[in-house]
Amino acid sequence: MIAQEANIKLKELGYEVQNSFVDLGETAERVVSDTLLREKFDCIMIGAGVRILPQHTVLFEKIINVIHQKASPSTKICFNTSPSDTVGTVLRQGSSNYNN
């Protein structure tokens, strides 16, 4: 299942889905922070492109810290292993407003 298919399936299941893409440079923290100031999310998923590549470790840390500082205390953070398990990952969190 590709990312778009996962988002369609989640919407069919009644979830609100918002994708927030970040660059790998200086604006990533600001993009996440601005999004969290405008919206409240039940669940935030950080994709493997940021999470698992060693060269993105510092970026991953920065994003986690922004989420920790700006998101609601009840916001869950989840991680998929690929787009094919995105739906199951969100379902296991029991969230209705999901940011990817």
**What is the domain partition of the chain in residue ranges?**
3-99
Q: What is the pLDDT of residues 31-87, one digit of tens each?
A: 999 999 999 999 999 988 888 899 999 999 999 999 999 999 999 999 998 889 999
Q: What is the pLDDT of residue 6?
A: 92
Q: How many CB atoms lie within 10 A of CB 88?
A: 13
Q: What is the pLDDT of residue 23?
A: 87
Q: What is the pLDDT of residue 34?
A: 95
Q: Give the predicted TM-score (pTM) of the model.
A: 0.84
Indicate the residue type of 88. Answer: G
pLDDT beyond 70 at 96 = no
Q: What is the pLDDT of residue 94?
A: 74
Pairs from 68-72 (Cβ < 8 Å, separation ≥ 24): 70/32, 70/33, 70/36, 70/37, 71/36, 71/41, 71/44, 72/40, 72/41
Distance CA(99)–CA(97), nearest Å, equals 7
